[in-house]
Amino acid sequence: MSDNDTDDVRTDGSGTGIVSPDDETPAWSERKERTQGLSRLTYEYFERARREDQDLRQQSDYVERDVLAFPAWPHEMMRNIALTSFFVGMILFVSATLPPEMPNPANSGVTPAIILPDWYLYWSFGLLKLGPLNPELSILGGSKLMADRTYGVLANVVVVGFVAIVPFLNKGSARRPVEQPFWAAVGMSGVIFSLTIAALSIKNLVPMDSHLLFDLTFLVPIVSATITYAVLKTMREGYMFDLNRRYYRLRPPK
Amino acid sequence: MPLDEDKYPAETGRRRFVKGVVGSAALSSVGVGGAAAVDATTDAAGEGGGTTPFVAVENTAGPAPRGMPIIPIEINGGEISGLWPDYDENAGAALASDFGGSGIDYSSQWFQYCGIQSTEAVYPQSERNNTFLNDTGTFSWQGEYDSGEPITVDMFEDYQDWGNGIGDSGVGKPASAVWRTNSEGKNGAPVQIIRSVEVEKMANGEGEYANLPGNVQSFVSEATDQGFIAWLNKCTHFCCVPGFKTQEGSANFGGANAIYCQCHQSVYDPFSPVQSTFVALPRPPKTE
């Protein structure tokens, strides 16, 4: 960082974005310089290292550019061999110490009373049971546009697709749920829905009427979203009140 | 000057040409290789199969696409066995045309689904034991008899009031069996049998069963005997083995007095025969 950068206030997201409110308030670097003891020593050490690095860069005629990668041989290859050997060794070790049980071949003439996927797949399994939401279209003479199983797979595609595009959405600058109660409520309804749809997938084990359970699967997320929204809104009011009170205490209005 | 100009070789005509040749070669080899792999793994070898009309115990609820096929039975000296017709060259299956004058063709293709088609049990020419053999473990009353013992009529003497705490008593007495086993009594197809007053009414077309379609009614009266009805016990949805009065939870899904599949809660009514159609899967060709 060159010297003139410290005075520059950047609006493009780079830099710390921390701006002193006035000339009397110390800047972050000034605070660092004022500290004592170990933190002071650490600061000086890092500052000196940074300074030396900067000097070296400026003196050399090396064209500064991004490092694309390390060479495949030997750097990457040695690392990969080391990692591979470790994990192969772990597999051999675990298989030698805990030899797998070899049960009887499956009997296709019997199905166990409880037959479910692993628990972390319940939500997906539940999405396959959305047959009652598959509309019977009058334009098709009361028949369904697609089979219930196709519908369930499409429901999975929709949910997984939505989760997959979340990283590509601009999520704004909010860091806490109170800052955006609406989207926090939407997220909360998603979390609750993942639980209720999991409960729906094991509807034959849940001691509840299965039609009621089906309705609750979709109602409980909406209710929880409403509660979340109300609570966060209230919390935000409280924070605002606190902030305002402190602000006015520090600087009473004229 | 772009910052990354020195990172990559400059684009030249020769380079573009080489890239084009290499790229198209790679693409076409992937295409040819993929086609060859698909061809090798999905070789449509097989016999029989295709659109097959059949008579089923009706699927009344749940995700199953259709009912499970009824097996016509015959009773010889008290032993109950499933009927297996003779092989018909033209049909490519064991076929009883116009079964019992009902106008319905009973065929071994009825059972060609859910992997059963690749077992020896439903291979039309194979010599198998057509008697229903006792399959213990599902119903406690069957534990009193040896596994693999032929199921006989006298095991069902209490059928008019039998119950096991699931649903109502007196609807019918079920049994699990294996059908068309080999000489060692193994590798049969799963079957369930019910003896019920309802089946007797069904065979005679009495009461509510007077409204059954004529061909279905005459098929059922041919395919059942002394109140016994049998069906291939493979759920048409995802090939689980359901059961009549086998699961406690069946009452929540209206299946306490019906056939209930515990996997996805499909329900079949054993006292509602329906004619329906499905696409039978081809049998793998016999190698020897």
Q: Which of A14-28, A231-245, B193-207, B232-246 is least confident?
A: A14-28
With beta carbons under 8 A apart, name residues in chain B contacting A112. 262
Going from the first residue of chain A to its last (254 residues), give the mean pLDDT of each consecutive group of 10, the final group possibly shorter: 49 59 75 76 86 84 69 89 97 91 83 90 92 82 82 93 88 84 94 95 89 95 97 90 73 60
pLDDT of residue A19: 67
Amino acid, single-letter form, for residue B257: N
Assess whether pLDDT exceeds 70 at residue B65: yes
- Report the alpha-carbon distance of residue B59 to residue B216 in Å, rounded: 16
When CB atoms are compared, the residue of A65, A129, A204 closest to B262 is A204
Report the candidate in B155, B183, B182, B171 with the shortest Cα–Cα distance to residue B259. Answer: B171
Q: How far is B222 from chain A (nearest CA, A)?
A: 27
Q: Average pLDDT of B60-87? A: 92
Per-domain residue ranges of chain A: 3-58, 69-99, 119-250
With beta carbons under 8 A apart, name residues in chain B contacting A125. none
pLDDT of residue A18: 63
User: Which pLDDT band holds residue B267 (cuts at 50, 70, 90)?
Assistant: very high
- Which residue, among B264, B265, B267, B279, would best test binding to A if mutated, counting the most A CBs under 10 Å from its CB? B264
Residue B115 and residue A114: Cβ atoms within 8 Å? no
Residue A111 and residue B115: Cβ atoms within 8 Å? no
What is residue A173's three-state secondary structure?
coil
**Tokens describing residue B265:** 């809660």
Residue B230: CB atoms within 10 A of its CB come to 27
**In this structure, what are the phi and psi dihedrals at residue B69, rounded to the nearest 5 degrees?**
-70, 140
Which residue in chain A is spatially nearest to B6 when comparing CA positions?
A65
Amino acid, single-letter form, for residue B174: P
**In this structure, what are the phi and psi dihedrals at residue B218, rounded to the nearest 5 degrees?**
-70, -30
> What is the interface size between A and B, counted as CB pairs within 8 Å?
47
Contact B182, B128 (CB under 8 A): yes
CA dihedral sign, ordered B35, B41, B47, B49: negative
Respond yes or no on whether the N-terminal peptide bond of residue B69 is cis (omega within 30° of 0): no
Tokens 């939500």 correspond to A123
pLDDT of residue B287: 61
- Report the alpha-carbon distance of residue B181 to residue B195 in Å, rounded: 22
pLDDT of residue A64: 62
pLDDT of residue A174: 81
Contact B256, B269 (CB under 8 A): no
Largest CA distance in chain A: 87
Contact B59, B66 (CB under 8 A): yes
pLDDT of residue B130: 93
pLDDT of residue A253: 59
Residues 6+ apart with CB under 8 A from B50: B109, B279, B280, B282
Tokens 């061809």 correspond to B39
pLDDT of residue B81: 93
**Tokens describing residue B94:** 């064991």
Q: How far is B102 from chain A (nearest CA, A)?
A: 30
Q: Which of A39-53, B118-132, B197-211 is least confident?
A: A39-53
When CB atoms are compared, the residue of B115, B137, B249 closest to A204 is B249
- Report the alpha-carbon distance of residue A152 to residue A81 in Å, rounded: 43
Question: What is the CA B60 to chain-centroid distance, rounded?
Answer: 16
Assess whether pLDDT exceeds 70 at residue B8: no
Instruction: State pLDDT tens for residues A202-238.
Output: 988 888 888 899 999 999 999 999 999 999 999 988 8
- H/E segment holding residue B271: strand B267-280
Q: Which of A59-68, A73-82, B128-137, B141-150 is least confident?
A: A59-68
pLDDT of residue A242: 80
pLDDT of residue B232: 95
Q: Which residues of B touch A (CB under 8 A)?
A: 3-4, 6-7, 63, 65, 115, 135, 137-138, 178, 188, 190, 240-242, 247, 249, 252-253, 261-265
- Which residue, among B4, B233, B244, B263, would best test binding to A if mutated, counting the most A CBs under 10 Å from its CB? B263
With beta carbons under 8 A apart, name residues in chain A contacting B261. 111
Which percentage of chain B shows pLDDT scores above 70?
95
Q: How far is A234 from chain B (nearest CA, A)?
A: 42
With beta carbons under 8 A apart, name residues in chain B contacting A68. 7
Q: Average pLDDT of B139-158? A: 92
**Tokens describing residue A169:** 């959405």
pLDDT of residue A4: 47
Instruction: State pLDDT tens for residues B81-100.
Output: 999 999 988 888 899 988 98
Contact B139, B193 (CB under 8 A): no
With beta carbons under 8 A apart, name residues in chain B contacting A115. 240, 262-263
With beta carbons under 8 A apart, name residues in chain B contacting A110. 137-138, 190, 241
pLDDT of residue A63: 66
Give the burial class of B124: count Cβ atoms within 10 A of its Cβ; 0-12 exposed, 13-18 middle, 19 or more buried: buried
